[in-house]
Amino acid sequence: MKIIVGVDGSKHSIQALEESIKLVKKFTGNIVVITVYTLGNDEEVDKIRQDVVKRLDKERVVHKFMGIVGSNPSRALIDIAKEEKCDLIAVGSRGLGSTATFFLGSVSQEVVTKAPCNVLVVKTKLVPN
């Protein structure tokens, strides 16, 4: 099983990564993490990469991280899913918002309608106060 995960550092995207880790460990496979960002946000992307790689290494999951310069995260996820012949795309139901590099509210909706494979949209779990 090959899963593409869109990660922007938001709680929703990290939850999508965590759910993907559970799936590849249960069914054996690998994860391709994609972060779409604009030029000048290299430090932010490096922080995301470090966090993601640390999580995946800890869980002993085979993975690849792709930082893609662009402005259309849904198109990047869909195109990479086709190129990588993935089985599933996992995204958070929402992202960081309009100031972020990866907009996952409208992105998740577009990915669901245009993806070449199944899509897992993950909602953030509510934590009791």
The pLDDT value recorded for residue 37 is: 92
Looking at every residue in the chain, the average pLDDT score rounds to 88
Residue 94 CB burial class (10 angstroms; 0-12, 13-18, ≥19): buried
Q: In the chain, what are the domain boundaries?
A: 2-122
Give the per-residue pLDDT at 94.
64
Phi-psi map region of 85: left, alpha, beta (phi>0 left; psi -120 to 50 alpha): left
Does residue 21 contact residue 56 with C-beta atoms inside 8 Å? Answer: yes
- As given in the structure block, the two tokens for residue 119 are 């899509």
The stretches in the chain having pLDDT less than 50 are 96-104, 129
- Within the chain, how many helices (H) and strands (E) appear? 4, 5
| 8-state DSSP, 116 | S
Q: Are 86 and 2 in contact (CB under 8 A)?
A: yes
Tokens for 60, please give them.
């002993």
Q: Which CATH superfamily is domain 2-122 in?
A: HUPs (3.40.50.620)
Rg (CA), the chain: 13
Query: What pLDDT score does 129 carry?
Result: 47
Which residues does 49 contact at the CB level (< 8 Å), separation at least 6? 35, 65, 67
pTM of the model: 0.86
Instruction: State the pLDDT at residue 123.
Output: 83
pLDDT of residue 100: 42
